[in-house]
């Protein structure tokens, strides 16, 4: 994939904290650019969580709570899923995973 150097010209509208205003504007190129902004190099585990979140959103029209994403990740990595989630997204599920997945900023959520 080509390195994106100026994401501001390619990005859909975002709020003051960098979350997409409209989750429908998300695609994997946008996710990659958002991840770069968070200093995250996307791996298969990152994409697995992000795609789960997008599928959950498509089905329920609401962002998946962290516990659902952790449960999904546990199917792949086992009992250390919660620890793995924090390795993947060290500044937290809401701060990084939700942003990269194109969700609006969740309100009043726990990050774990």
Task: Spell out a b/e string for 26-60, using b for 16 or more CB atoms within 10 Å of the CB, else e.
Answer: beeebbbbbbbbeebebeeebebbbebbbebbeee
- Predicted local confidence at residue 69, as pLDDT: 96
Query: What are the chain's domains?
Result: 12-100 (1.10.10.370)
- Predicted local confidence at residue 111, as pLDDT: 44
- pTM score, whole prediction: 0.84
- Predicted local confidence at residue 100, as pLDDT: 98
Mean pLDDT (whole number) for 50-79: 94
1 pLDDT band, cuts 50/70/90, is very low
Q: Tokens 């516990």 correspond to what residue?
A: 67
Mean pLDDT (whole number) for 41-54: 97
Mean pLDDT (whole number) for 33-38: 96
């Amino acid at each position: 994939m080509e390195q994106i150097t100026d994401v501001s010209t390619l990005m859909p509208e975002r709020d003051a904290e960098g979350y997409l205003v409209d989750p429908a504007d998300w695609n994997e190129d946008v996710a990659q650019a958002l991840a770069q902004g968070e200093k995250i190099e996307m791996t298969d585990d990152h994409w697995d969580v992000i795609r789960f979140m997008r599928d959950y959103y498509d089905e329920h029209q609401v962002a998946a709570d962290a516990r659902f994403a952790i449960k999904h990740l546990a199917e792949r990595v086992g009992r250390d899923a919660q620890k793995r989630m924090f390795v993947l997204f060290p500044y937290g599920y809401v701060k990084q995973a939700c942003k990269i997945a194109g969700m609006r900023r969740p309100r009043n959520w726990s990050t774990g």
